[in-house]
A and B are shown apart, each in its own frame.
Chain A
Amino acid sequence: MPEDDVLVEFKDLHTYFHLAEGIVRAVDGVDLTINRRQTIGIVGESGCGKSMTAYSLLRIVPSPGRIERGEILYYKPPREGASHNITDVINITKLKANSKEMRDIRGNQISMVFQEPMTAMSPVRTIGKQITEVIELHQQVDKKEARLKAIEILARVKLPKPERTIDDYPFQLSGGMRQRAIIAMALACRPSLLIADEPTTALDVTTEAQILELMRSLQEDFGMAIMYITHNLGVIAEMAEEVAVMYLGKVVEQTDVKSIFFSPLHPYTHALLASIPQLRDAVTKVDKARRLQVISGMVPDPYTRLKGCAFHPRCPQAIPGTCDQVEPVAIQVTPSHLVRCHLYSPAP
């Protein structure tokens, strides 16, 4: 892949929470590359650090969490009409969270759609006010123009009667419509990266299908990259081109979507895929007592730090003496397939 296609690069990112009970290593050495115009799915169970990775990128990690070490490089694309073609590289971890540069990125060049459509918007202000605020903040336009832009973007997310809905309060809309309004708000400044943190988890399946379809078509029109965070492997299969699987603060496997589903390498990815009930089996079910494969044990509590590979106590293929001692490094099995597992390390 050509170098100039990279949009965001996480390098050995550590985001820790220092609590009275101990240190929670929410993000514990994430390496991840997001390319332009690409949809990357981040998948993992609760507590694996997928949301915190995104929060670190936007510098909105809630206190007492902080970025401990590592880098997040943002390759700022030249704005349309710029004379030069050189991309600025911004190290986001070096910026102050409330600095002017960071505020210029957050909500403008990188924006986010949150999980809860019921709480992501202010209940006391109209949708229009909340969207025009973003536009006025980041673009040199007056109130009237901002309102027109807001109506235009609401129409783009297929909100019915945008000229009227713009003056509605969030509670007047259904969950699906509210999520559309939130997507409109996120896209108002045409970001180069949209972070979607479980945007359809709280929605019903038929509404979810509508929102997924909408996001796909908006990506075609706007050409932004999407970082899609979810625990639902079905949604990953529908949306993502590239997939990163996270476990306990690390990316354990990263490759294209077909390889994740058809030739996964990491034992955790295997286990995750085996534990979801498959509809196909329900129809062709032969044995009534068919059981789901389960991952033995539980995700360890966040304060303990395991020696070696974090997955080794639950891994069926753990190598004694290696996996419980040495932390695996990311291995490039093929040019587009990264895995963090001793099973694939070249013989010493």
Chain B
Amino acid sequence: MPDPVAQEEPLLEVKNLKKYFPIRRGFFKRIVGYVRAVDDVSLYVKEGETLGLVGESGCGKTTTGRCVLRAFLPTSGEIWFRDPHLGKVDVSKLDEKGLTQVHLSMRMIFQDPYASLNPRMTLLEIVGAPLRAMKLAHGKELEDRVAEMLGLVGLRPEYMRRYPHAFSGGQRQRIGLARALAPYPKFIVCDEPVSALDVSVQAQILNLLRDLQGQMGLTYLFVAHDLSVVAHISDRVAVMYVGKIVEMATTSELFASPKHPYTEALMLAIPLPDPNPREKRILLTGEVANPADPPKGCYFHPRCMYVKDICKVEEPVFEEISEGHFVKCHFSKELSLGGAVRISR
């Protein structure tokens, strides 16, 4: 595999990341197997861009996002991050001190705005927490910084004495975002940030994320299951299936000419807000493979409509078939698959 980014060094580069969760059974809690939540994932995110990570539930997209921040300790693999203070570091091998430091520039926003804010803390305490913990600001200075952050996310600074219960879902998501932004980070993992919100509020948050990216030079890893949302916000998209990335390309290329049968099926399955019947429709049969006991060969072969003998025995490699377009399929060059949309209407 040629070096994916020879011209520009990415802000984050993940190499062969694995996260296995042990399955324990019996009186002695013997390990009887592993759930391969993330199984050999490699990806990179360039500075200032948004990489969308999509897949169905249980495919390991959230676990990947959490491993990148070391919220989970990876089983193996490397996570190279260019930290503005520490320089280029492997996050998977950092000690506690280094980790605390790197967490100022790598942050996270969460899916559930009702569970991710402590109901007993005021906004000042919530948003100011990372600054106080690192002794970056206190007293009046802290208040000013919190006021600035609340202003950035579109909330009134007067709200800082209030508690989270006084806010709606969309506003809570803004509070979570203000907390993430407080130490002026470089990189944010957004874990399904809009999936709990109504469409009109979802649009507000997506616009806000976009505006802030421009203003503060942020880089996002955007984890979501909704393809339309991911397509809207991302520059590039990676598709995961049972712990592995099966395809990664720029958004327009992925949606116009997917090269992996799973990507095609996923795109043709989304209900489009257009009552005209579609030209092509694929209905996947069966269910997502069990990550504790995945099938042999290509994990997707039991559901794939283009399956051939080799798919059942040999696992395909994740290779770059054209510039910046990576696919994990034996027949990526031969298949002609349908994209999500017809470009000419």
B93 contacts partner chain A, Cβ-Cβ < 8 Å: no
Report Cα–Cα, A262/B201, bound state, in Å: 23
**B91-123 Cβ-contact flags toward A at 8 Å (1 or 0):** 000000000000000000000000000000000
Evaluate contact between B252 and A45: CB separation under 8 angstroms: no
Stretch with Cβ within 8 A of B (4 or more), from A7-15, A24-32, A131-139, A286-294: A286-294
Evaluate contact between A283 and B255: CB separation under 8 angstroms: yes
Q: Which residues of B contact A45 (CB under 8 A)?
A: 198-200
Shortest Cβ distance from residue B133 to the other chain A in the assembled complex, whole angstroms: 32
**In the complex, which of the residues B200, B225, B231, B269 contacts A282, with contact meaning CB atoms closer than 8 Å?**
B231
Stretch with Cβ within 8 A of A (4 or more), from B5-13, B155-163, B177-185, B335-343: B335-343
B256 contacts partner chain A, Cβ-Cβ < 8 Å: yes
B272 contacts partner chain A, Cβ-Cβ < 8 Å: yes
Evaluate contact between A291 and B210: CB separation under 8 angstroms: yes
Evaluate contact between B231 and A275: CB separation under 8 angstroms: no
**In the complex, which of the residues B200, B206, B265, B340 contacts A283, with contact meaning CB atoms closer than 8 Å?**
B340
**In the complex, which of the residues B204, B235, B265, B270 contacts A294, with contact meaning CB atoms closer than 8 Å?**
B204
Shortest Cβ distance from residue B121 to the other chain A in the assembled complex, whole angstroms: 23
Known: A206-B284, A279-B272. A284 touches B343 (CB 8 A): yes
Report Cα–Cα, A231/B273, bound state, in Å: 12
Q: Which residues of A contact B340 (CB under 8 A)?
A: 279, 283
**In the complex, which of the residues B198, B207, B271 contacts A291, with contact meaning CB atoms closer than 8 Å?**
B207
**B152-196 Cβ-contact flags toward A at 8 Å (1 or 0):** 000000000000000010100000000000000000000000000
Q: Which residues of B contact A235 (CB under 8 A)?
A: 271
Residue of B nearest to A174 (CB): B287
B132 contacts partner chain A, Cβ-Cβ < 8 Å: no
B88 contacts partner chain A, Cβ-Cβ < 8 Å: no
B134 contacts partner chain A, Cβ-Cβ < 8 Å: no
Q: Which residues of A contact B251 (CB under 8 A)?
A: 282-283, 285
A298 contacts partner chain B, Cβ-Cβ < 8 Å: yes
Q: Chain A's interface: helix, strand, loop or mixed, by majority?
A: helix
Q: Which residues of A contact B285 (CB under 8 A)?
A: 210
Q: Which residues of B contact A155 (CB under 8 A)?
A: none
Evaluate contact between A294 and B200: CB separation under 8 angstroms: yes
B56 contacts partner chain A, Cβ-Cβ < 8 Å: yes
Report Cα–Cα, A204/B59, bound state, in Å: 11
In the complex, chain A residues 291-323 whose Cβ is within 8 Å of any chain B Cβ: 291-295, 298-299
Evaluate contact between A289 and B269: CB separation under 8 angstroms: no
Evaluate contact between A237 and B274: CB separation under 8 angstroms: yes
Evaluate contact between A237 and B200: CB separation under 8 angstroms: no
Report Cα–Cα, A207/B225, bound state, in Å: 13
Report Cα–Cα, A212/B281, bound state, in Å: 13
Report Cα–Cα, A295/B202, bound state, in Å: 10
Shortest Cβ distance from residue A269 to the other chain B in the assembled complex, whole angstroms: 12
Evaluate contact between A277 and B204: CB separation under 8 angstroms: no
B75 contacts partner chain A, Cβ-Cβ < 8 Å: no
Evaluate contact between B214 and A209: CB separation under 8 angstroms: no
Shortest Cβ distance from residue A302 to the other chain B in the assembled complex, whole angstroms: 12
Evaluate contact between A205 and B228: CB separation under 8 angstroms: no
Among B170, B341, B343, residue most surrounded by chain A Cβ atoms (within 10 Å): B341
Evaluate contact between A232 and B200: CB separation under 8 angstroms: no
A261 contacts partner chain B, Cβ-Cβ < 8 Å: yes
A233 contacts partner chain B, Cβ-Cβ < 8 Å: yes
Report Cα–Cα, A280/B256, bound state, in Å: 9
Report Cα–Cα, A52/B220, bound state, in Å: 39
Evaluate contact between A277 and B284: CB separation under 8 angstroms: no
Shortest Cβ distance from residue B256 to the other chain A in the assembled complex, whole angstroms: 5
B313 contacts partner chain A, Cβ-Cβ < 8 Å: no
Evaluate contact between A272 and B199: CB separation under 8 angstroms: yes
Q: Which residues of B contact A257 (CB under 8 A)?
A: 275
Range of interface residues on chain A? 35 or more
Residue of A nearest to B303 (CB): A206
Shortest Cβ distance from residue B251 to the other chain A in the assembled complex, whole angstroms: 5
Evaluate contact between B199 and A279: CB separation under 8 angstroms: no
Evaluate contact between B203 and A273: CB separation under 8 angstroms: no
Evaluate contact between B206 and A292: CB separation under 8 angstroms: yes
**In the complex, which of the residues A238, A279, A280 contacts B227, with contact meaning CB atoms closer than 8 Å?**
A279
Q: Which residues of B contact A291 (CB under 8 A)?
A: 207, 210
Known: A205-B225, A205-B266, A275-B203. A176 touches B287 (CB 8 A): yes
Evaluate contact between A277 and B269: CB separation under 8 angstroms: no
A86 contacts partner chain B, Cβ-Cβ < 8 Å: no
Q: Which residues of B contact A212 (CB under 8 A)?
A: 271
Report Cα–Cα, A279/B252, bound state, in Å: 10
**B25-68 Cβ-contact flags toward A at 8 Å (1 or 0):** 00000000000000000000000000000001100000000000
Shortest Cβ distance from residue A43 to the other chain B in the assembled complex, whole angstroms: 10
Q: Which residues of A contact B199 (CB under 8 A)?
A: 45, 231, 233, 272, 275-276
**A253-282 Cβ-contact flags toward B at 8 Å (1 or 0):** 000011011100000000111011111111
**In the complex, which of the residues B203, B204, B255 contacts A279, with contact meaning CB atoms closer than 8 Å?**
B255
B232 contacts partner chain A, Cβ-Cβ < 8 Å: yes
Report Cα–Cα, A280/B267, bound state, in Å: 12
Shortest Cβ distance from residue B343 to the other chain A in the assembled complex, whole angstroms: 6
Evaluate contact between A283 and B275: CB separation under 8 angstroms: no
Report Cα–Cα, A122/B209, bound state, in Å: 41
**In the complex, which of the residues B200, B227, B287 contacts A207, with contact meaning CB atoms closer than 8 Å?**
B287
Residue of A nearest to B231 (CB): A282
Q: Which residues of A contact B272 (CB under 8 A)?
A: 234, 237-238, 279
Among B273, B274, B283, residue most surrounded by chain A Cβ atoms (within 10 Å): B273
B307 contacts partner chain A, Cβ-Cβ < 8 Å: no
Evaluate contact between B200 and A289: CB separation under 8 angstroms: no
Among B229, B232, B233, B271, residue most surrounded by chain A Cβ atoms (within 10 Å): B271
Q: Which residues of B contact A292 (CB under 8 A)?
A: 203, 206-207, 232
Q: Which 5 pairs from chain A and chain B are nearest by CB? A: A282-B231, A234-B271, A277-B232, A292-B203, A204-B56
A-B contacts, 16 listed (Cβ < 8 Å) = A45-B198, A46-B198, A205-B56, A206-B265, A207-B56, A208-B271, A212-B271, A213-B283, A238-B271, A257-B275, A261-B273, A273-B273, A275-B199, A279-B231, A280-B345, A289-B214
Given contacts A234-B228, A279-B341, 19 further A-B contacts (CB under 8 A): A45-B199, A205-B56, A205-B270, A208-B271, A210-B283, A234-B270, A237-B272, A257-B275, A261-B274, A275-B200, A277-B229, A277-B233, A280-B345, A281-B232, A282-B232, A283-B256, A292-B203, A295-B203, A299-B198
